[in-house]
Structure 1
Amino acid sequence: MEFKVNCGIWGAMFGVPSIVADNFLKLASGEQLKVLLYLLRSSGKVCTSEEISANTGVSVQTAEDAVLFWQQANVITPQGSISPVVSAAPIMVQPLTPQSAATSEQPQNIPVIQNVQTSVSAPDHKTNLSGGEIADIMKDSQDIRELFKIAETIIGTLKNSQMNSIIWMYDHLGLKKEVIIILLSYCASIEKTNTAYVEKIASVWAENDINTMEAAQDEIQKRKDSRDYILSIMKKFEMNRKPTAKQAEFIEQWKNSGFNIELVHYAYEKTIEQINKLSFDYINKILLSWRDSGFTTVNDVKNAEITFRKNKKSTAAKSGETDTDMEEYESIINQFLY
């Protein structure tokens, strides 16, 4: 089904940062998006938490948490020297413009997001901080307090292990607040918020210096593209279980090589015709041979088949043969298999 926006019935309009549509439609909750739309519509106007709540239908606390989320995600910035959101306090925000997002210079009086050392030394990966130690860190670090608060809006009430994990990512790995928020939001969107999974991705990001909003969003988009590609392959191959590690390697190789889903599916069909079973190795040989022959689409392969049939038919007519040697045909078309 196709949809078309009726621009003629629009009244006054306001802008929504592209970053929201590109990266947060899945990562942010519906309530967070409602609050953002209201704030964008009210740009330049002083709003209270109660006003946001009344106009969006979310609770006052949820409104405050949502404002904090969008601030830490660098989508909106506090106006002037206003302190973090508190109940009943006026809120005045402005969207983060592309120019301000691209520059490393922060406007005056706007808080700079940076890692702040606490009185407790940064924990090692295996360190398990006690509740008292975590409380001490929270007391000394506003960043950690805000991270915990936002994390709870994303993944729910935090366990001790999750608090330890967030502190470790922030203090030990040195990931910025907004990057940790993006990571947690992504993990929540794919329903994988267990500590081990989150920390595994965080470690990779730290090792590869993925520590800015732009870099984190690019990495998440790559992960989404890879996930969508795998799901499409599974559907085309009629797979009812996740690919094995070896199968996943083949799929990643096909994606990186630029093989489109339709071409991979056609190779799958050829494989079933030939050996009557799913074989990733067999499919891979077909794809590599097609690539070596310059075939990049299903039409390329089908045109080659048609050309062969015509040539074979012409040759058979000249020699007086009446039947096409299908075995020879299969041998030539699928020469990559031998």
Structure 2
Amino acid sequence: MYRFNPDCWGGCVAVPDSILEKYLKLASGACFKVLLYLLKNDPPESASAIAVATGLSDDTVADALLYWERENILIPFSANSLKKPEVKKDDSRQQSQQSSLKEKAIERPAPLLPIKPPTHTEIAKRLSESDELNFIFSEAQNVLCNTFGYNTQAILLMIYDYFGFSSDVILMLVQHAKLLGNTSSLGIKKLAETWAKQGVSTLSDAEKEIGRHNKALDTYSILSKKFDFGSATPNDTQARYLHSWLENFEFDAGVISLAFEKADCQGAKNSFSHANKTLRQWYYKGYRNAETISAKVFPSGKFNKGEPERSYDKVKMARSVIYDWINKPEGGNVE
């Protein structure tokens, strides 16, 4: 057996016991090389930097990063946070507190409205107490061009009481629900919960959230015209993918389109999950625009479907003496 040479001890890198106990058998050597590098160098500048330092290929590094992300060991961050911010000594405590608050905000569950709605009596009582609530109900009916019933009244009251949205924000929410074509009480409820999850609290926040939503819809429309997704609007899963690609990875429609082209060529036509895997790999490799990706991934102008390229010109070969000899009649001579 062996023991460690004490002369080798210097600086140490801590590896959590939980990772060793679970993944020592499950994870590959390449995955552990990448993880050890990250534990010592957090965060790295790019996947290429990891590849150079570990002697692995870019693809192997990208696969390793995806593996640890799927296992919830690594958490992806946006492109503009690839480098650690410089923290002044005087501000270290404040920076630590801000980081702690951000972590708590991330861990907070998505806000949901209560399951039990207010009764008719409770709604009437709240209307008698609040002029602003009366204004919201009146203007919301004008926006929807009809008189709504108990269900919508209950939802609007819960949005007002539990989320604390102002009258302007609530009316903008109702207007946006109308533009989306879903003014049912459940549609308004779902939209309000989405806004609350995104931290909407002011009119400016609401405008940004609508812009964020419209950007995803516009991107989906561009892609659908090219790939024919078969639906005018994305479903919830597709919308989550789009928001992730546009906001976390900061990719544009051109880059996303290339990912779907690759998925199509690999037999996964219109697969959002396949495109997502491709986009994550490109992101970790440091590819940020369609020009770079086209040059590196599609050098011949289109993705190779697996058919090997010929190393000869078939037309020229057809004219050659050798080709004539191969196809000559039995016993004949080549002129």
User: Which category of TM-score, normalised to the shorter sequence, fits these structures?
Assistant: 0.3 to 0.5
- Give me the TM-score of the superposition, normalised by structure 1: 0.47
Structure with the bigger RCO (C-alpha within 8 Å, sep 6+) is: 2
